[in-house]
Amino acid sequence: FLKNFCSFIYEKDGVKIGFLALSNQFFSKYYVQVGETARRMRQEGVNAIVCSFHSGVEYAPKRRELDQERYALKAVQEWGADLVIMHHPHVVQGVDRINQRYVFYSLGNFCFGGNMVIRGQTNKPSVRSLESMVVQMDLRFSDDGTYLGQSGRIYPCYISSSAEQVGDPNDFQPRFVTGQQALGVIERIQDDTRFDLGLLDEDLGYLELPYLAADAKE
C-alpha cells in the first residue's frame, strides 16, 4: 500500500502545499483513500494540492484518453488538485488545462539510469527518450492564503550532454537546449496539446505559460 502512494504537506511563509504521489496501480484500487487523504489535507488547512502520477504508456508520444486523462480529471475535479504532473512514458507529452489548472502528461526523463542509450522508435525518430523538460510553476495566493491562480515556464532539455539520436550512449548529464533542438522539444509537446502553447523565447530559453486565474471561466 505505502510503496504505491505517499503524501506530505510543505509549509512556507504561512502557505501550506499538499503533495500526493501515486502509481496507476494504486489509482485503480485505492482512489477512494487518496480522495480521503486530499480531504484531510484541506481540513488541515492546505492552500493548494499538487498531484503526481506514475502513469502512461512507455515511449508513447501522446497520452491515452482513458488512462492519463481520466486520472487528471479525477485529481482536479474530485480531489481538488491545483496542479497535476505525470511521469512514466519516458518521452515528453502534452499539456492540458482542467478547471483553470495545468496538467503535464509527461515531463520525459531527466537523470534516469534505465536509459543507458537513447531509446525510441527508429521508424519514428520524433519518439525518443532524449527530449525532456523542466517545468517551473508559480502558484499565487492572497494575503489570507486563498489560492488565486498559476503560471509557469517550460525549459526544453536533453537528458544527455553528448547524445543526439536514438542509439547514442547516455552520459547522464542533462542540459538545457537552444535553437532547433529546443524548438524540436516544444514541437513534440505541442503535438499532444490541444491549445496553442505559444512561442519559445529563445533569448530566455523557456516557453512562458499563460496565467490561469482560479475563478476565471474556461
pTM here is 0.94
- Tens of pLDDT along the chain (218 residues) come to 456 788 999 999 999 999 999 887 777 777 888 899 999 999 999 999 999 998 898 888 899 777 899 999 999 999 999 999 999 899 999 999 999 999 999 999 888 777 788 888 766 666 789 999 999 999 999 999 999 999 999 999 999 999 988 889 999 999 999 999 999 999 999 999 999 999 999 999 999 999 999 988 76
**Secondary structure (H, E, C), 112-132:** CCCCCECCEECCEEEEECCEE
The DSSP secondary structure of the chain, one letter per residue, reads -GGGEEEEEEEETTEEEEEEEEEHHHHHHHHHHHHHHHHHHHHTT-SEEEEEEE-S-TT-SS--TTTHHHHHHIIIIIT--SEEEEE-SSSB--EEEETTEEEES-BB-SS-TT-SB--EETTEEEEETTEEEEEEEEEEE-TT--EEEEEEEEEEEES-SS--STTPBP-S--EE--HHHHHHHHHHHHHT-SS----EETTTTEEEEEEEETT---
Question: Rounded to whole angstroms, how far apart are CA atoms 179 and 174?
Answer: 16
User: Would you state the cell numbers that stand for residue 163, as one nine-digit string?
Assistant: 547524445
Give me 91's grid cell: 518521452
| β partners of residue 169 | 117
Q: What is the pLDDT of residue 1?
A: 44
